[in-house]
């Protein structure tokens, strides 16, 4: 019996030691968190007095300035203590000459639309082949073959080739195309390119 009582006493003693180890620091922390009152700091009453004095000064300054009557202004506007937008009334936004702030940076200005060249506009002139020419007529025409073997009939003024080419002359065994190139500076240059019927085809 005595051994059990001693064991219980030892267990109880350990529990009290643990409880004191936890409770003592908590007690010391709560005692250290007490609020110290500094007599030099302003109180809420002092703050309210300063606020009322400032409001009285601003009212006196507004009363001493000449007031301008704005059309549509109500009489209640005099009762307002502060007018936050008074300094910004004279500013008006002028968008002329300025970029639209909501437009994407990748936006491309609407310029002259590129001409639709049709299927012959997908190829370089070197890839096209002149197959036949009807030149001794009031409206000369030529038969052009693309690399896939499809044939197209062109007339003077027809668009052809990737470089803004235009057929300017159809003659015996020949189609003359004027290509327009544009360099990085935006300057345009032209070049005349001849398409001829190949000798193997009787040209």
The confidence band for 65, taking pLDDT boundaries of 50, 70 and 90, is confident
pLDDT of res. 111: 57
Residue 140 lies in a domain: yes
Residue 79 has pLDDT above 50, yes or no: no
- Inside any domain, residue 149: yes
pLDDT one-digit tens code per residue, 28-52:
777 766 566 666 777 888 888 988 9
How many percent of the chain have pLDDT more than 70? 76
User: For residue 177, which of 112, 111, 116, 117 has the smallest C-alpha distance?
Assistant: 117
In-domain check, residue 150 = yes
Reported confidence tier of residue 162, pLDDT bands at 50, 70, 90 = confident
- Average pLDDT on 158-177 reads 90
* pLDDT band per the 50, 70, 90 thresholds, residue 167: very high
pLDDT tens, position by position, 99-144: 888 887 776 666 555 556 678 888 898 999 999 999 888 899 999 9
CATH code of the domain covering residue 181: 2.30.30.830
Q: Residue 151: what pLDDT?
A: 93
Q: What angle do CA 107, 111, 112 make, to 5 degrees?
A: 150
Q: Where are the beta strands (DSSP E) in 115-173?
A: 129-134, 141-145, 151-155, 159-160, 165-171
Residue 83, in any domain of the structure: no
Structure tokens at 41: 């700091």
Strand-by-strand arrangement of the 129-134 sheet: 129-134, 141-145, 151-155
Q: What is the pTM of this model?
A: 0.43
Domain assignment of residue 180, given as a range: 123-198
Q: Which residue has the higher pLDDT, 96 or 40?
A: 96
* pLDDT at res. 163: 86
Q: What's the domain count of the chain?
A: 1
Alpha carbons 68 and 123: distance in angstroms, whole number: 74
What pLDDT is recorded for position 121? 86
Mean predicted confidence (pLDDT) in 196-200: 77
What pLDDT, on a 0 to 100 scale, did the predictor assign at position 97?
87
Q: Does a structural domain hold residue 104?
A: no
């Amino acid at each position: 019996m005595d051994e059990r009582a001693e064991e219980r006493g030892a267990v109880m003693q350990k529990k009290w030691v643990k409880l004191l180890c936890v409770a003592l620091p908590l007690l010391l922390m709560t005692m250290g968190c007490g609020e110290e009152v500094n007599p030099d700091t302003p109180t809420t009453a002092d703050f309210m007095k300063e606020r009322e004095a400032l409001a009285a000064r601003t009212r006196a300054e507004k009363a001493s300035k000449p007031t301008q009557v704005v059309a549509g202004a109500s009489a209640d506007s005099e009762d307002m203590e502060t007018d936050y937008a008074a300094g910004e009334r004279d500013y008006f936004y002028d968008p002329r000459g300025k970029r639209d702030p909501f437009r994407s940076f990748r936006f491309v200005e609407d310029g002259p639309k590129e001409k639709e060249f049709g299927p012959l506009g997908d190829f370089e002139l070197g890839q096209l082949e002149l197959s036949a020419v009807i030149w001794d007529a009031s409206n000369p025409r030529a038969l052009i073959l693309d690399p896939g073997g499809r044939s197209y009939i062109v007339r003077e003024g027809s668009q052809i080739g990737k470089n803004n080419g235009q057929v300017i002359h159809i003659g015996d065994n020949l189609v003359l195309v004027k290509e327009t190139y544009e360099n990085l500076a935006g300057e345009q240059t032209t070049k005349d390119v001849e398409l001829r019927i190949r000798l193997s085809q009787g040209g």
